[in-house]
């Protein structure tokens, strides 16, 4: 039996990441290594789901330039469905550049202008019958990332096209966390954020992930899964207890994409039937494998 498609809606781009083991002072020029890989939150989650044996389908905007052709080829090689990508010759393929030092993110620039310019056009397959329609809305699982504009996320929150879907929503970065506020009232949306992002959404400070997750649910979220670096992670759900789990102690080798690995492992575990404590443990293990590794996984 073929596994149902899981939609991954959001950023698909090229990551260019420089890493060094020592500190990087302002204006510093230090030795290290630079890796380039297919990335973006939606793409990263899709790739991890494909490695878990699931069937991810990517909804994003990818240019028709050489970078876009190479990105689509990398996705297809990784088992990601690309048939519904928006390919616009007027839009270049997006990019992300980051510097990591001593196992932490120093700075990053996310150029998602093409995704933002494409807007609601990336959702066309949900309306025209390819993946769903107003009369028969998509009712499977859809991952939505915070690289989408506030306007588009607001539209998703109100649209009947995803009203029946199991939505898994990820902030993508603290600077984009407030974009998720329109989805707080969605009856089927689970928010995946870290403690800092939860604070920005709620305009409050939280001592730990359990408090942050509970506050998000109190603010209207149907479910909130909150991480806190080396601290305990928490899963809060409307009308149920808060579940917690603690990550393993390990040496951090890379940080970009850790949240994507966490979400994908959590979703894969729940798709396989895991209960909330087991799924949270699987998510923490998936994130740990990611940050402790040095080699980039295949797209």
**What is 234-284 written as a DSSP string?**
EEEETTSPPEEE-PPP------TTHHHHHHHHHHHHHHTT--HHHHHHHHH
The Cα–Cα gap between 286 and 280 comes to: 10
The reported pLDDT for the residue numbered 1 is 40
The Cα–Cα gap between 129 and 148 comes to: 22
**What is 194-226 written as a DSSP string?**
EHHHHHHHHTS--SSHHHHHHHHHHTT-SEEEE
The Cα–Cα gap between 65 and 95 comes to: 13
Domain ranges of the chain: 5-292
Place of tokens 């997006």: 94
The reported pLDDT for the residue numbered 292 is 87
The Cα–Cα gap between 214 and 116 comes to: 31
Low-confidence ranges of the chain (pLDDT < 50): 1
The reported pLDDT for the residue numbered 135 is 93
Residue 183's closest CA among 196, 201, 205, 199? 201
The Cα–Cα gap between 103 and 57 comes to: 31
Encoded tokens for 78: 């990784």
The reported pLDDT for the residue numbered 103 is 85
The Cα–Cα gap between 60 and 118 comes to: 8
Phi, psi of 216 (to 5 degrees): -65, -40
What are 16-64's pLDDT values in tens digits? 999 999 999 988 899 999 999 999 999 999 999 999 999 999 999 999 9
Label residue 10 left, alpha or beta by phi (over 0 means left) and psi (-120 to 50 means alpha): left
What are 117-148's pLDDT values in tens digits? 999 999 999 999 999 999 999 999 999 999 99
CATH architecture designation of domain 5-292: 3-Layer(aba) Sandwich (3.40)
Separation of first and last alpha carbons in the chain:
25
The reported pLDDT for the residue numbered 255 is 86
Residue 100 burial (C-beta neighbours within 10 Å; 0-12, 13-18, 19+): buried
The reported pLDDT for the residue numbered 146 is 95
Coil, strand or helix: which one is 296? coil
């Amino acid at each position: 039996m073929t596994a149902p498609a899981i939609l991954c809606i959001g950023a698909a781009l090229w990551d260019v990441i420089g890493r060094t083991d020592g500190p990087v002072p302002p204006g510093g020029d230090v030795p290290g290594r630079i890796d380039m890989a297919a990335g973006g939150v939606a793409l990263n989650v899709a790739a991890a789901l494909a490695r878990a044996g699931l069937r991810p389908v990517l909804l994003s905007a990818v240019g028709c330039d050489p970078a876009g052709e190479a990105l689509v080829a990398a996705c297809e090689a990784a088992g990601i469905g690309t048939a519904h990508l928006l390919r616009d010759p007027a839009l270049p393929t997006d990019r992300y550049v980051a510097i990591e030092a001593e196992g932490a993110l120093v700075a990053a620039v996310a150029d998602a202008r093409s995704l933002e310019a494409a807007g609601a056009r990336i959702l066309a397959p949900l309306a025209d019958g390819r993946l769903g329609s107003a009369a028969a809305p998509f009712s499977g699982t859809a991952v939505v990332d915070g690289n989408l504009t506030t306007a588009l996320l607001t539209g998703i929150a109100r649209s009947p096209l995803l009203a029946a879907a199991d939505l898994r929503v990820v902030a993508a970065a603290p600077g984009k966390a407030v974009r998720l506020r329109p989805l707080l009232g969605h009856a089927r949306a689970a928010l995946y954020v870290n403690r800092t992002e939860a604070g920005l959404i709620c305009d409050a400070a939280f001592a730990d992930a359990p408090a942050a997750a509970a506050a998000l649910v109190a603010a209207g979220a149907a479910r909130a899964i909150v991480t806190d670096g080396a601290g305990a992670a928490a899963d809060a759900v409307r009308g149920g207890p808060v579940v917690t789990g603690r990550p393993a102690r390990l040496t951090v080798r890379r940080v970009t994409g850790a949240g994507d690995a966490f979400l994908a492992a959590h979703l894969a575990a729940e798709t396989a039937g895991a209960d909330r404590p087991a799924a949270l443990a699987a998510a923490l293990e998936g994130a740990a494998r990611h940050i402790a590794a040095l080699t980039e996984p295949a797209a």
